[in-house]
Amino acid sequence: MRYQRSSQLFSESNQVIPGGVNSPVRAFKSVGGTPVFIQKAKGAYLEDVDGNTYIDFIASWGPLILGHAFEPVIDAVVQKAQLGTSFGTPTEIETKLASLAVEMVPHIEKIRFVNSGTEACMSAVRLARGYTHKDKIIKFEGCYHGHSDSFLIQAGSGAVTFGSPNSPGVTQGTAKDTLLATYNNLESVRQLVDANLGEIAAIIIEPVAGNMGCIPPSPEFISGLRTLCDEQNMLLIFDEVMTGFRLGRGGAQEVLGIKADIVCFGKVIGGGLPVGAFAASAEIMSHLAPEGPVYQAGTLSGNPLAMAAGLAMLEALNKDAEVFDRLAKKTEYLHLGLEHVLNQAGVTAQINRFGSMISVHFSDTPVVDFKTSALGNNDTFKSYFHGMLDRGIYLPPSAFESYFLNDALSYEDLDKTVAALADFVEELK
């Protein structure tokens, strides 16, 4: 593969953009090398500025579940743009998208649109605190809920200690109200609750984790959280920015059979444009301004271009009852193919999968939480990433990110991906 033009563009971007990128993972820092600059995409394929073509397993980090440049979405955005891009007033299409989302997702009655998943999670936690009149929240190590201060917290010295900030600029005052638990470990949550009785507003979790690789929850863990929240008058917040409208028509709530009190959305709900949302019962949402005292606002929230893209995407998913099953079967097919090649080559790896999310961890330890995900051999991952990239396979440039399959991927694409891995491991011998 040639990367001359990408290298040149990265050098230029570094002069005017911190690190040369507007989202850190794009910098390839964890895998080394120069990031690839993409100029266009269609279906399951990306094309970079040097003319290289790749089979894409990122799908813009999840939103493009039906493939790049999906025509109904493109047409809807173009038609709306011709009427104006933003008005700062209510528009009918906001209600149409809200009504469809409420229809598709169980246990929600009202929804508020924002511009990103970060905004959605930040607003959901504020709403939970305003509704419960309690300050503290529990989050899980390795679960990413955006870059709001409350969420940039790492572990303390023990299960019941306060978190501490892991980013400069986050104050100890903010950190003290965020308690850190271990994913898939209900006892770690109980310890925090017992140590902070009556003080915890909510538990926020990625119901299927995607920011330490793909890590599904154990059934007893996720159901135990619901029970614990009911017992202690805490709200359960599902961060479905990744899983919403991807794992199923009604997202993780539907697939896992667990009711969340507040649900956060992003990615798929915007059809590739910047959209986030949070939703709950009418009772909880009634506490939100202008109806209630909990303030939240956004100038471009619900803008017609984003709403048009999201509506076209959700309408397509809502009409195609088989799409989620197709994606899950493709993901299973890829899983089995990759696993066979790695086993034949004697390469130790763990492959986690849930629906259309999947990740490969070069470790001999099952990956069930952040600590076990961090045991993977990063040097092997770096070689794997660049080896696959050079063979035309675009994977997440981080060992801690999930792959997101899109429905435009064919079984031939999946076979080519498995063949690329076979070629790569042969080269390692």
Distance CA 151, CA 133 (A): 19
Which helix (H) or strand (E) segment is 113 a member of? strand 110-114
Which of 3, 45, 54, 144 is labelled catalytic? 144
Percent of the chain exceeding pLDDT 90 equals 89
CATH number at residue 242: 3.40.640.10
Which of 177, 239, 261, 413 is labelled catalytic? 239
CATH number at residue 416: 3.90.1150.10
Q: Residues 355, 264: one domain?
A: no
pLDDT of residue 408: 98
Q: Residues 34, 143: one domain?
A: no
Q: Residues 186, 297: one domain?
A: yes
Q: Residues 412, 300: one domain?
A: no
Residue 155 has pLDDT above 80, yes or no: no
Residues with Cβ within 8 Å of residue 172, at least 6 apart in sequence: 164, 165
DSSP letters, 145-167, are --S-GGG-EE--SSTTSBPEESS
Residue 158 has pLDDT above 70, yes or no: no
pLDDT of residue 12: 96
Q: Residues 44, 117: one domain?
A: no
Residue 161: pLDDT band with limits 50, 70, 90: very low
Q: Residues 266, 283: one domain?
A: yes
- Among 109-113, 160-164, 205-209, 330-334, which stretch is predicted with the lowest mean pLDDT? 160-164
Residue 165: pLDDT band with limits 50, 70, 90: low
Residue 404 corresponds to which tokens in the numbers above? 């997101």
User: Pick from 319, 339, 354: which residue ends a domain?
Assistant: 319
Please provide the average confidence, as pLDDT, over all residues in the chain. Answer: 94
The yes-or-no answer on residue 3 being catalytic is no
The secondary structure of 246-281, three-state, reads: CCCCCHHHHHHCCCCCEEEECHHHHECECCEEEEEC
- Among 16-20, 28-32, 254-258, 278-282, which stretch is predicted with the lowest mean pLDDT? 28-32
Average pLDDT over residues 17-43: 93
Q: What is the Cα gyration radius of the chain?
A: 21
Q: Residues 206, 136: one domain?
A: yes
Tally the domains of the chain: 2
Average pLDDT over residues 110-129: 97
Whether residue 400 contacts residue 141, with contact meaning beta carbons closer than 8 Å, is answered with no
Q: Using alpha carbons, select from 247, 253, 265, 261 the residue that is nearest to residue 116.
A: 265
- Among 16-20, 143-147, 371-375, 393-397, which stretch is predicted with the lowest mean pLDDT? 143-147
Residue 27: pLDDT band with limits 50, 70, 90: confident
Average pLDDT over residues 167-190: 88
Which of 80, 139, 267, 330 is labelled catalytic? 267
- Domain span at residue 23 reads 4-69+322-428
Average pLDDT over residues 254-264: 98
The yes-or-no answer on residue 144 being catalytic is yes
168 vs 218, more confident = 218
User: What's the chain's length in residues?
Assistant: 429
Residue 160: pLDDT band with limits 50, 70, 90: very low
Q: Residues 287, 339: one domain?
A: no
Q: Using alpha carbons, select from 158, 66, 141, 60 the residue that is nearest to residue 369.
A: 141
Write the CA distances from 312 to 48, 93, 354, 410, integer angstroms.
27, 11, 25, 23
The yes-or-no answer on residue 320 being catalytic is no
Average pLDDT over residues 172-181: 86
Average pLDDT over residues 22-45: 93
Residue 421: pLDDT band with limits 50, 70, 90: very high
User: Pick from 302, 319, 336: which residue ends a domain?
Assistant: 319
Residue 1 has pLDDT above 90, yes or no: no
pLDDT of residue 162: 41
Distance CA 8, CA 4 (A): 6
User: Pick from 319, 344, 377: which residue ends a domain?
Assistant: 319
Distance CA 398, CA 28 (A): 8
Q: Residues 267, 338: one domain?
A: no
Q: Residues 96, 244: one domain?
A: yes
The structure tokens 């397993």 sit at: 57
Residue 283 corresponds to which tokens in the numbers above? 């009772």
Q: Residues 366, 308: one domain?
A: no
321 vs 239, more confident = 239
Whether residue 219 contacts residue 326, with contact meaning beta carbons closer than 8 Å, is answered with no
pLDDT of residue 159: 29
Q: Residues 198, 123: one domain?
A: yes
